[in-house]
Amino acid sequence: MSVEKNYLVTGANRGLGLEFTKQILQAGHNVYAACRNTNDIDDLNRFSAKFKDSLIIVKLDINDHDSILELNRNLRDVSIDVMINNAGIIGPLPYFENTFKQHYGTIDYDVWADVFKTNLFGPVKMAETFLDQIEKGQDKKMVFISSVVGSIADDHQKAFAYATSKTALNKSVALMADILKEREVKVLAMCPGYVKTRMNGGGANLEPKESIEGMLKQIEKLDLESSGSFVRYNGEKINW
Ligand SMILES: NC(=O)c1ccc[n+]([C@@H]2O[C@H](COP(=O)([O-])OP(=O)(O)OC[C@H]3O[C@@H](n4cnc5c(N)ncnc54)[C@H](OP(=O)(O)O)[C@@H]3O)[C@@H](O)[C@H]2O)c1
């Protein structure tokens, strides 16, 4: 019999966060589904009737550290077994906007700062802020949705802002794994694969369902020994 757990998922209103929420609810667990704009959550609301006791929709803008602190105060008595830091942005790209704001020679440094704020500072601030609640949980897991694009060894996408934000996130995951080991908190960086969501302008080869099924298996397997690793949705190790 599976034990009911509490998950906190960021960016839960669409894309991978929505599919995480759906599959975790279907597995019988509770989800604190964090969304930036709680007025724009039609897809999430479709689960509300069926999962009225286990789906808790909460407001969170990870760019705004006061918003992170406020959510933390609201959930102060909740134990969190697994926190999934999923929310992220890719920034402007030629195939979306025909701009080259994160390409060498024409870099827009405000764009770079914005992408770091969301993809790096937000998730790390979440990890600092929610440590108490995670330590109260049985699983004590923090997951960070990164990308192979952040790998120095395995990928050479030329999008400076997005790629380096994930590289820096990976290094932060490795540091947190070391720091949090003695508190038995496990930390994992994952690449979901190239998944059909609004983030990538088409050409993706994976359905969210398959990506999330795979990532949930990897999260289940995560233990202190594997803490600090960087894996694909299917469990393959990714080189830093
Ligand atoms: N799809 C892929 O192929 C792929 C590949 C590698 C890695 N990833 C990573 O997977 C994660 C999810 O991506 P996705 O494909 O599901 O993208 P998506 O469909 O664009 O969804 C992104 C989610 O992040 C939320 N978000 C963005 N900025 C936020 C903020 N400041 N505060 C709170 N929420 C915020 C969005 O909320 P709003 O609706 O309010 O904008 C949305 O819910 C990201 O970290 C991404 O880098 C995706």
Is 156 a residue whose pLDDT tops 70? yes
Give 86 Cα–ligand 1 centroid separation in angstroms.
6
Domain ranges (residues) in the chain:
6-232
Q: Could you tell me the pLDDT band of residue 106, with boundaries at 50, 70 and 90? A: very high
CATH of domain 6-232: 3.40.50.720
DSSP structure string for the chain:
-PPP-EEEEESTTSHHHHHHHHHHHHTT-EEEEEES-TTS-HHHHHHHTTTTTTEEEEE--TT-HHHHHHHHHHTTT---SEEEE--------HHHHS--TTSTTS--HHHHHHHHIIIIIHHHHHHHHTHHHHHHSSS-EEEEE--GGG-TTT-----HHHHHHHHHHHHHHHHHHHHHGGGT-EEEEEE--SB-STTS-S---B-HHHHHHHHHHHHHH--TTTTTEEEETTS-B---
**CB of 72 shorter than 6 A to ligand 1:** no
Mean pLDDT of the chain: 96
Is 227 a residue whose pLDDT tops 80? yes
Is 2 a residue whose pLDDT tops 70? no
Q: Which of 22, 145, 166 to mutate to test the pocket of ligand 1 (most atoms within 8 A of CB)?
A: 145
pTM above 0.85, yes or no: yes
Q: Could you tell me the pLDDT band of residue 201, with boundaries at 50, 70 and 90? A: low
